[in-house]
Structure 1
Amino acid sequence: MARTAGAGVSEHPAAGLDETVHQRHRLGILTIAAEAGKVDFGYLRRTLDMTAGNLSRHVTILEEAGLIDVEKGYEGKRPRTWITISPAGRKALAAEVAALRALVSAVERAVPARPRTT
Structure 2
Amino acid sequence: MSTEEKAGAGHARHRLDDVIHAPVRFSIVATLAGVDEAEFAMVRDEVEVSDSALSKQVSTLEQAGYVRVRKGYIGKRPRTWLSLTAHGRRAFSDHLAALREIAGG
TM range (shorter): 0.7 to 0.9
User: CA RMSD for the aligned pairs?
Assistant: 1.3
**Pairs aligned (count):** 97
Report the CA distance between 1:76 and its aligned residue.
1.2
Report the CA distance between 1:52 and its aligned residue.
0.6
Q: What are structure 1's unaligned runs of at least 5 residues?
A: 1-9, 109-118
Normalising by structure 1, what TM-score? 0.78
The corresponding residue for 2:73 is 74
C-alpha distance in 1 between matches for 2:76 and 2:30: 29
Equivalence map 1:24-43=2 (5 Å): 24-43=23-42
C-alpha distance in 1 between matches for 2:95 and 2:86: 14
Counterpart amino acid of 2:55? Answer: S
Percent of paired sites with the same residue? 35
Counterpart amino acid of 2:54? Answer: L
Report the CA distance between 1:12 and its aligned residue.
1.6
Alignment of 1:48 onto 2:81: no
Is the CA contact 2:31–2:46 (under 8 Å) kept in the aligned structure 1?
Answer: no
C-alpha distance in 2 between matches for 1:55 and 1:68: 12
Alignment of 1:103 onto 2:102: yes
Q: What are structure 2's unaligned runs of at least 5 residues?
A: 1-8
C-alpha distance in 1 between matches for 2:45 and 2:31: 12
C-alpha distance in 2 between matches for 1:46 and 1:72: 18
Counterpart amino acid of 1:69? Answer: R
Report the CA distance between 1:27 and its aligned residue.
1.2
The SS at the match of 1:72 is: strand
Report the CA distance between 1:42 and its aligned residue.
0.4
Counterpart amino acid of 1:63? Answer: E
Normalising by structure 2, what TM-score? 0.87
Report the CA distance between 1:25 and its aligned residue.
1.1
Alignment of 1:16 onto 2:25: no
Larger radius of gyration: 1
